[in-house]
Amino acid sequence: MTAAGTDRLDWQSIDTVLLDMDGTLLDLHFDSFFWLHHLPRRYSQLHGVAEKTAIADLHQQLKDKRGTLDWYCTDYWSRQLDVNIVELKREIRHLIGERPQTLAFLRRLGQINKQRILVTNAHRDSIAIKFAVTDIEPLLDNVISSHDYGYPKEEEQFWQQLQQSIDFDPSRTLFIDDSEPVLDAAKDFGIQYLLSIETPDSQQPPTHTKHYTAISYFDQVLDITDGQH
């Protein structure tokens, strides 16, 4: 489902907006490039193995951990691969950037008194790198990493602990994320309003989701004109 011609949401029925980071507020290109290209290349250089071998090995290890907290954990991969993941990410931090209209959307949400909460599977180390080179942090009311709870967003326990932490009403909450399994978990928990992102990675074709409305731009669901400078 795409959001071409999507009617804007009933914002009178929404108090809290939960926002994913990578692929939602920020362009996923940085992360895609890091895991698929930069890390294998640097791993091969640091450990003296063929880059082709490194790519195949890393692909399998990532596949084995997909959907678990380890998959998102810089500490885990630093130990597992014997590299400094944080430093390697900093090497290509120039690729980090906001998705279109992100800042205007966050500003507008603040202007209409909506609670803006970042909920991400990213490790706090990764969040710090992203915050250092983008302008999203001052426009957020709270920042939650799944590592704070010990469960990824794909698991019910994450949502239970999130509600205990920030006291939100799921029936008056909008959640935007580019991952269908994460959206499924949020739906199962009872989040009323769910949106996906059509093009999380600016360098890749649009993704397709069967079950959730996908938006390309935030002005498809909110008039953000007053939030722009």
State the DSSP string of 67-119: TSGGGG-HHHHHHHHTS-HHHHHHHTGGG--BPTTHHHHHHHHHHTT-EEEEE
Q: How many CA atoms lie within 13 A of 119 on its CB side?
A: 29
CB 146 within 8 A of CB 124: no
Backbone angles phi, psi at 143, to 5 degrees: -130, 120
Average confidence score pLDDT of the chain: 92
What pLDDT is recorded for position 89? 97
105 and 218 Cβ atoms separated by less than 8 Å: yes
Query: Tell me, what's the pLDDT at 6?
Result: 45
Diameter of the chain measured on Cα atoms = 58
This prediction's pTM: 0.92
Question: What's the Rg (C-alpha) of the chain?
Answer: 18
Contacts of 193 (CB under 8 A, 6+ apart): 9, 14, 173, 174, 175
- Distance, in Å, from the CA atom of 194 to the CA atom of 77, rounded to the nearest integer, reads 31
Q: Given this model, what pLDDT does residue 57 score?
A: 87
| pLDDT at position 48 | 92
Query: Binning pLDDT at 50, 70 and 90, where does residue 67 land?
Result: confident
Structural domains of the chain, with CATH: 11-28+97-227 (3.40.50.1000), 30-94 (no CATH)
pLDDT value of residue 25: 98
Q: Are 155 and 185 in contact (CB under 8 A)?
A: yes
Residue with tokens 């992100």, as numbered in its chain: 102
d(CA 145, CA 196): 19
The pLDDT confidence band at residue 226, using thresholds 50, 70 and 90, is low
Residue closest to 201 by CA, chosen among 51, 19, 24: 24
